[in-house]
């Protein structure tokens, strides 16, 4: 990896999380440089851990930056690294990986890297493509029924999570109508839908709440496989990383967790 020019800030970013949650896929799409979402999975390059950290050059605020990404497979023991930003990764398809952020990874982040609370910590949900519209309603359609139109991928502000207010309201209406998990629910289109039990994915408001409880700075999610919300996540990460080079730093004021 070539060193950046001396006047270009270099910001080390460390991705932490369970094996198999999608960290390598995220880094693969990042090195590809293609952030355009697609309807089908895009072939991604194979990365070699010996090449870590993976550089990502970007122009922001009329000046260049280099962000250097590493994860737990770094050839240098990751606990010996000195990151300026920590990203706690989990798989939306695996609720246990979200629980492990609280049980394991936030403790490692705080004990090894952030004893003085100066490093921004971001929670990143990966494999967002596992969710469909019916998943946000807490139900699934019987086979053979047409799927509803796709959900919008960004809010009016271009955020990288859905509007959790609208999601929470919709989910509550299903829960209220379906206290018995074996009861069939009818949706607004008149079609019968079947409650999703057991659920094998995580709702965004659940992860955002956990990020707030862990006093993290930000929460975002995307699909590196299809590119859904990938551009927004990269932009949000880049803004946070760039702020670490300023006197103010990249931490959010107080203990509020910002949903991107």
Residue ranges per structural domain of the chain: 10-131+201-259, 134-200
Could you tell me how far CA 148 lies from the centroid of its own chain? 25
Nearest CA among 119, 100, 106, 158 for reference residue 11: 119
Confidence grade of residue 131 (pLDDT, cut at 50, 70, 90): confident
Helix axes 204-213 and 164-177, enclosed angle (nearest 10) = 110
Could you tell me how far CA 138 lies from the centroid of its own chain? 21
CA distances from 257 to 31, 102, 175, 218 (A): 28, 15, 27, 5
Whether the predicted pLDDT of 181 surpasses 80? no
Residues 157-182 have a mean pLDDT of 36
Q: Which of 9-13, 61-65, 69-73, 148-152 has the lowest mean pLDDT?
A: 148-152
- Residues 113-123 have pLDDT tens digits of 998 899 999 99
pLDDT of residue 166: 33
pLDDT winner (highest mean) among 38-52, 119-133, 190-204 = 119-133
- Residues 206-236 have pLDDT tens digits of 999 999 999 999 999 999 988 999 999 999 9
Residues 151-158 have a mean pLDDT of 44
Comparison of pLDDT for 76 and 23, the residue scoring more: 23
Q: In what order do the strands lie in the sheet with 54-60?
A: 54-60, 63-71, 10-16, 85-91, 121-126, 218-221, 258-259
227 neighbors 35 (Cβ within 8 angstroms): yes
pLDDT of residue 154: 43
pLDDT of residue 200: 78
Whether the predicted pLDDT of 39 surpasses 50? yes
- For residue 27 the two structure tokens come to 């880094």
What is the C-alpha separation between 83 and 15, in angstroms, rounded? Answer: 9
CATH architecture assignment, domain 10-131+201-259 = 3-Layer(aba) Sandwich (3.40)
Residues 16-37 have a mean pLDDT of 85
Buried-exposed string 152-161: b where 16+ CB fall within 10 A, e elsewhere: ebebeeebbb
pLDDT of residue 198: 55
Comparison of pLDDT for 23 and 199, the residue scoring more: 23
The SS3 call for residue 206 is helix
| pTM listed for this prediction | 0.73
What is the C-alpha separation between 142 and 62, in angstroms, rounded? Answer: 52
Counting residues of the chain whose pLDDT is more than 90, the rounded percentage is 48
- Residues 52-106 have pLDDT tens digits of 999 999 998 889 999 999 999 988 899 999 999 999 999 999 999 999 999 999 9
Arithmetic mean of pLDDT over the chain? 77
In the chain, % helix, strand, coil (3-state, to 5) comes to: 30, 20, 50
pLDDT of residue 260: 58
Comparison of pLDDT for 155 and 204, the residue scoring more: 204
């Amino acid at each position: 990896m070539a060193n950046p020019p001396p006047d270009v800030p270099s910001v080390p970013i460390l991705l932490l999380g369970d094996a198999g949650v999608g960290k390598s896929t995220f880094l693969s799409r990042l090195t590809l440089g293609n952030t355009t979402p697609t309807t089908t999975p895009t072939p991604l390059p194979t990365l070699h851990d010996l090449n870590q950290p993976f550089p990502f050059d970007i122009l922001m605020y009329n000046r260049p930056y280099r962000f250097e990404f590493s994860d737990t497979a770094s050839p240098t023991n990751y606990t010996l690294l000195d990151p300026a930003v920590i990203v706690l990764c989990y798989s939306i398809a695996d609720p246990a990986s979200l629980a492990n952020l609280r049980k394991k990874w936030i403790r490692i982040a705080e004990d090894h890297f952030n004893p003085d609370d100066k490093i921004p910590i971001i929670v990143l949900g990966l494999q967002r493509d596992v969710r469909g519209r019916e998943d946000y309603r807490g139900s699934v359609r019987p086979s053979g029924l047409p799927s509803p139109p796709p959900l919008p991928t960004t809010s009016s502000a271009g955020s990288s999570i859905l509007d959790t207010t609208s999601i929470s309201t919709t989910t509550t209406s299903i829960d209220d109508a379906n206290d018995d998990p074996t009861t069939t629910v009818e949706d607004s289109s008149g079609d019968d839908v079947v409650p999703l039990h057991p659920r094998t994915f995580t709702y965004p408001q659940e992860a955002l709440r956990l990020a707030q409880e862990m006093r993290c700075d930000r929460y975002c999610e995307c699909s590196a496989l299809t590119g859904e919300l990938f551009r927004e996540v990269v932009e949000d990460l880049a803004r946070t990383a760039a702020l670490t080079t300023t006197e103010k730093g990249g931490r959010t004021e107080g203990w509020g967790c910002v949903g991107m």
